[in-house]
Amino acid sequence: MDSEVLATKYDQVLKPMTRMGWPFWVTVFPLSILFLWSFFAFGWQYQWGLGETGMGHPMSWTLYLVNFVFFIGISHAGALVSAVLRITHARWGTPFGRAAEAVTVFALAAGPTNILFDLGRSSRFYWVPLHAQFKSPLIWDFTCIMTYFTVSVIFLYVLMIPDIGLLRDRFPGRKWLYKPLSLGWTGTKDQWRTISKTIGFLCVAVIPIAVSVHTVVSWVFGLQTQPMWFSTIFAPYFVTGAIFSGIATIIIVTIALRRIYHLEKYLTPYHFNNMGLLLLVFTLLWAYFTFAEHLTVAYAGGSHELDVLWSKLTGRYALLFWIMVLLCFVIPFSLLVFKRSPKFLLPASISVVIGMWLERFLIIIPSLAHPRLHYPRGAYMPSWVEWSMMAGLCAGFTLAFILFSKFFPVLSIWELEKEAQEN
Amino acid sequence: MAKWGMVIDLDKCVGCQACLVACKEENNVPHGSPEEQKSRRDIFWHKMIAVTSGKYPHVRVEVIPMPCMQCDHPPCVTVCPAKATFKREDGIVVQYFRRCIGCKYCMVACPYGARSFNYKVQETKPYHRQDDPPDRKSWEPWPFPTRTQGVVEKCTFCFHRIDQGLKEGKKIGIEVVPACVESCPSQARIFGDLEDPQSPVSRILASRASFRLREDLHTLPKVIYLSRS
């Protein structure tokens, strides 16, 4: 189809890219301040040492690691929603694709940054590849995440090329950006053949890579003797939780885009109903894994494991634990089982995302606080530095997405068009 | 090759903590402040743990001195992503500060909590002892003159003493011992070669009941305790 006709047809999708009213500035300004503030916080910590955080023996891995696992978890959205739905030709996934892939890339940028915050000497990070010790789970973590990041960026980019070709013709003022990125896309038969082959390959490649990432992240913990980390189901438990929080994030992002950019025509209740079903399935899966994990410890766990378990169920972390159960299971389940319209999905997804953050917190912190030789036991409260970094990360993540939506369409126009033609 | 080990006789230990002070002196370990103690950020290469058992009024408190266990299967070594911690041929697990990036994975992996982290720039001055000659070159080979912020550190079995002693052809375990062993007033600690059946450590281990901490984890510590009778 002619680019002019296409652009008129999908005007609703392209319009938000050029319009920047007061809501845009009102959102971007405070987020930028938060984001810049986190640089100050990091500088402070870099200068004065990790003693500025809430860490202390035996709490060596704290809020930064929680955020690391959390953001890496969110990044699994892209792999599942884009690749799996494409491979299975699930048409209803099309309008979620672009948002999911962008969430993946930005979450993958945010996640590993936490490791840099957590290092005592982050400036020496390059010593890991230089003096790599291949027995360390951390190095495989690094490898998997970098592979996933690279593949995700390529995935996001390749799927945008036909759209960038359209943008190049549509916005001559931004030619400096779109022309090199479009790689001379004109929509010839040859180009279509190449791109569909590439996409097919990437879809298959990205799934095992995504699964490997959270598997290895879980093994960073699961291969240690710390009580309640040493568990064989940690890998699938982490992957399930990751996809769970990822789907919830996509739903939040797309509902926000739908409301703000007026994309009701493309993101219909039908699409959200299906996405809600997927979230419901993962709610149940998560509950199943959590129950299995905790029951095994409660029934047959040694005294060290039971220490951790009781601190979660009835002790110091009980409040957080039961809030997590409420947010990750009770609220989303009772909402989604009845109705999966955007109005129900938004509170359910927000509750899942917060709940999954708590889950990561409750996996890492109580185990470290109750080591096998519990002298001393630990207590932990994050300091202002850690909260600032977390706020900065969330602000940076949101900012990146907002800026992305100003340069690229948040829905995949060529795929929508392809579907419209096929119908 | 010798395999250095330490035997701590809990029967003889009076809990005076002289070992702890001697270790701080010998290795220039920062003294720590009350604030650091409160936030558990003070550095100890050698610590004391108080193990309580029973319920009031029938409580028993056992004080156990704990250097690094120098495991034969050290969990800290396998997790280090940059090979900053490794086991020497003589079995001593050491930390290479210049390589350490401060990821703290070894501290998470260590089931004994034997490792400490430099949470701040330490104020301790380069090592200085009153009895040292003013010329720095003729100082004894103290390996830790200064501290680096953001690295992990731990007990080394005073390997600088052992290496120097071996060079001078002295008998390790008799003439040359780690600082904590030297300072023990009740001679509750014995140091020596675990592989040599004639060494004092091997002899006492053959004659008395002994245990190691958290034996179930199969870390095979080379610090072995003689039970309190």
- Sort out which chain A residues have CB atoms less than 8 A from B101's CB and list them: 119-122, 124-125, 127-128
Lowest mean pLDDT among A107-111, A305-309, B91-95, B125-129: B125-129
The whole domain housing A16 covers 3-269+383-417
Assigned domain for A363 exists = no
- Between residues B229 and A249, the one the model is more confident about: A249
Q: Between chains, do B49 and A371 touch, taking CB under 8 Å as contact? A: no
Domain membership flag for residue A401: yes
CB contact under 8 A, B101 and A124: yes
Helix, strand, coil percent values for chain B (each to nearest 5): 25, 20, 60
The answer to whether the CB atoms of A115 and B103 lie below 8 A apart is: yes
The interaxial angle of helices A342-369 and A63-74, nearest 10 deg, is 140
Q: CA-CA distance, A117 to A64, in Å (whole number)?
A: 7
Task: Specify if B175 maps to a domain.
Answer: yes
CB B53 within 8 A of CB B170: no
The answer to whether the Cβ–Cβ distance between A61 and B148 falls below 8 Å is no
The CA distance from A75 to A78, in Å, is: 6
Q: What is the pLDDT of residues A169-223, one digit of tens each?
A: 888 888 888 888 989 888 888 999 999 999 989 988 899 999 999 999 999 999 9
Q: Is residue B135 part of a domain?
A: no
Query: Domain span at residue B36?
Result: 4-120+143-226
Q: Decide if A298 is inside a domain.
A: no
Q: Kindly identify which residue of chain A lies nearest to residue B98, measuring between CA atoms.
A: A124
Report yes or no on A319 lying in a domain: no
Measured at the CA of B182, the angle between CA B178 and CA B188, to 5 degrees, comes to: 105
- When scoring B107, B108, B115, B154 by the number of chain A Cβ atoms within 10 A, the one with the most, hence best to mutate, is B108
Find out whether A85 and A412 touch, Cβ atoms under 8 Å: no
* A297 is a domain residue: no
Q: What is the pLDDT of residues B56-84, one digit of tens each?
A: 899 988 899 999 999 999 999 999 999 99
| Chain A interface disruption, residue of B52, B83, B154, most A CBs within 10 A | B83
What domain count does chain B have? Answer: 1
Contacts B114 to A, Cβ<8 Å? none
Contacts of A137 in chain B (CB under 8 A): 79
- For residue B58, tell me if it sits in a domain: yes
Is residue B8 assigned to a domain? yes
Helices A137-158 and A94-118, axial angle in degrees (round to 10) = 150
Question: H/E element holding A32?
Answer: helix A22-48
The neighbour count for residue A215, using CB atoms within 10 Å, is 20
Residue B183 lies inside a defined structural domain of this protein: yes
A343 inside domain = no
Beta bridge partners, B64, equal B49
- Give B161-205 pLDDT, tens digit per residue: 898 889 999 999 899 999 999 999 999 999 999 999 999 999 999
Q: CB–CB of A248/A352 below 8 Å? A: yes
Residue B138 has a pLDDT of 52
CB-based contact B102 A225, cutoff 8 Å: no
Q: Is residue B60 part of a domain?
A: yes
- Would you say residue B137 lies in a domain? no
Q: Which residues of A touch B40 (CB under 8 A)?
A: 56-59, 376, 378
- The candidate with the shortest Cα–Cα distance to A200, out of A76, A86, A77, A79, is A86
Please spell the DSSP secondary structure of A149-174, one letter per residue. HHHHHHHHHHTTHHHHHHHHHH-GGG
Residue A263 lies in a domain: yes
Chunk chain A into consecutive blocks of 10 residues (it has 423) and report each block's average pLDDT, rounded to whole numbers: 77 81 90 95 92 89 94 85 83 87 93 92 89 91 92 92 88 86 87 91 90 92 90 92 93 92 87 92 95 92 90 93 95 91 92 95 92 82 93 94 91 86 81
CA separation for the pair B36, B122 (Å, rounded)? 12
Which CATH number covers residue B173? 3.30.70.20
Q: Are A371 and A229 in contact (CB under 8 A)?
A: no
- DSSP per position, B12-31: T-----HHHHHHHHHHT---
How many independent structural domains does chain A possess?
1
CATH number of the domain that residue A150 is part of:
1.20.1630
